[in-house]
Amino acid sequence: MLKKIDSSQLRVGMAIHDLDCGWMEHPFVRNRFVITSEDEVRKVLNAGIRGVTIDCSKGLDVSDAPTVEEAAAATEAEVAAIAAKPVTPLRATLAEEFDRAVAIRRQAAGLVKTVMQDARLGKAIELDKVSPVVENITASILRNPSALLGLSYIKNKDDYTFLHSVSVCTLLVAFCRSRKMDDETTYQAGIGGLLHDTGKALVPDHILNKPGRLTDEEFEVVRRHPRDGYDILRRSPEIGAIPLDITLHHHERRDGTGYPDRQGAEQISELAQMAAIVDVYDAITADRCYHKGMPAAEALRKMYEWSKFHFNPTLTQEFMRCVGIYPVGTLVLLESGRLGVVVEPHETSLLTPKVNVFFSTKSQTYIKPETIDLSRGLGFGGGDKIVRHESPEKWKVDPMRFMALAA
């Protein structure tokens, strides 16, 4: 039996099934092993890992700990309660915005690539080239955030660093807009999101793209990138305080386990905390050379659990409402047995989005694509309900092929 426990409950003789640390590089060769010493317990705690899954059939039990299924059900109930808040109305349909969003994303990725190349050569960042890209991203988010947010899950592994920066900018601008922050703050946050990983230009490619676990020495090189990026951006006299702050502190954590300054909850600025949430969310949903990205809906639930220690819980819940409990691009299974991709949130209920259905799990075949509004009843374009989110790999389908059907 698998159970979820807090890492403070770990004892010698317990069999670890999973170290719930997501984006972190934990100090163990494997995720599954039996705890044989107090030193191993200390390593888990010192790595900032708070949640652990243990296998009671292979080691010591914790009698009152919830099973994995019970813990997941409790999280799901709490997540559902978060969904009951209106979202911002859209100004354009997904179909109207999709092609524009594709072009904006391509332009932004090209810019980030140039910024990285310039940084390696010791050149200052040219903000007059960055500003129009952030303005285009912001305009697209205002028209229909679903287009760019949906595209953020498509990443070429070779271009991950560039596309990750574009996604963080997109998500952070959308997050600011959903929180009704003023235009200048939102713009500055967008600059910070697009440039937050500039310091990775100084990380050797063999470390940045290493398929296996990093050594302690290699990880220390990676951990220097916030400070390096901060120093690079400071060469541009027109750079604002917000982009500098986001670049330097997007890896800080509220419990003081982050880097580079190990800041605590009261020391980390609001926008740096928002950037940290966005950065981790995008990182754990992406396929990398060393791990498979998790579905967006699953990632949000992980973020919610981690927010008890690493992130601001209120901001995390607001981010979940921003991207949706079932984010755009999520593959979902409906009660009818159809699979669909979420294409647009509902204005008042995040549990009943618009979905493009395209596959029948009953007949195991593709069906004629159709857009359904889950907030409507049978005969009015709805009449179905989400059962759960699904993994595209499980069904061997590509939901992103059906993103732009909504009229």
Amino acid at 378: L
Q: Is 239 helix (H, G, I), strand (E, B) or coil?
A: coil
Q: CA dist 157 to 23, 293, 401, Å? A: 16, 11, 19
Q: How many helices and strands, by DSSP H and E, does the chain display? A: 15, 9
Q: Which residues contact 150 (CB under 8 A, 6 or more apart)?
A: 94, 328, 329, 343, 400, 403
Q: Give the domains, in start order, of the chain with CATH numbers.
A: 2-65 (no CATH), 94-323 (1.10.3210.10), 331-405 (no CATH)
CA 130/CA 117 separation, integer angstroms: 14
CA 286 distance to own-chain centroid? 8
CA 384/CA 188 separation, integer angstroms: 41
Q: Residue 153 has what DSSP assignment?
A: T
Nearest to 125 by CA among 117, 135, 134: 117
Q: Which residues contact 87 (CB under 8 A, 6 or more apart)?
A: 178, 321, 322, 324, 345, 346, 347, 348, 350
* Count of CA atoms in the C-beta half-sphere (13 A) of 50: 15
Q: Between β-strands 331-334 and 354-360, what pairing exists: parallel, antiparallel or unpaired?
A: unpaired
How confident is the model at residue 18, as a pLDDT? 87
CA 71/CA 122 separation, integer angstroms: 49
Nearest to 172 by CA among 160, 187, 161: 187
How confident is the model at residue 34, as a pLDDT? 93
Amino acid at 144: N
The sign of the CA dihedral 340, 298, 176, 185 is: negative
Mean pLDDT in consecutive groups of 10 residues from the start of the chain, 407 residues: 92 91 62 90 84 93 92 84 64 84 96 96 94 97 91 81 95 95 97 98 92 85 97 95 98 94 94 97 85 87 91 95 90 96 83 93 95 79 84 91 69
Q: Between β-strands 354-360 and 365-373, what pairing exists: parallel, antiparallel or unpaired?
A: antiparallel
Q: Which residues contact 120 (CB under 8 A, 6 or more apart)?
A: 201, 202
Burial state string for 341-365 with b = 16 or more CB within 10 A and e = fewer than 16:
bbbbbbeebbbbbbbbbbbeeeeee
Residue for token digits 């059939």? 57
How confident is the model at residue 400, as a pLDDT? 87
Q: Between β-strands 33-34 and 15-20, what pairing exists: parallel, antiparallel or unpaired?
A: antiparallel
Q: Which residues contact 233 (CB under 8 A, 6 or more apart)?
A: 125, 195, 198, 239, 243, 244, 247
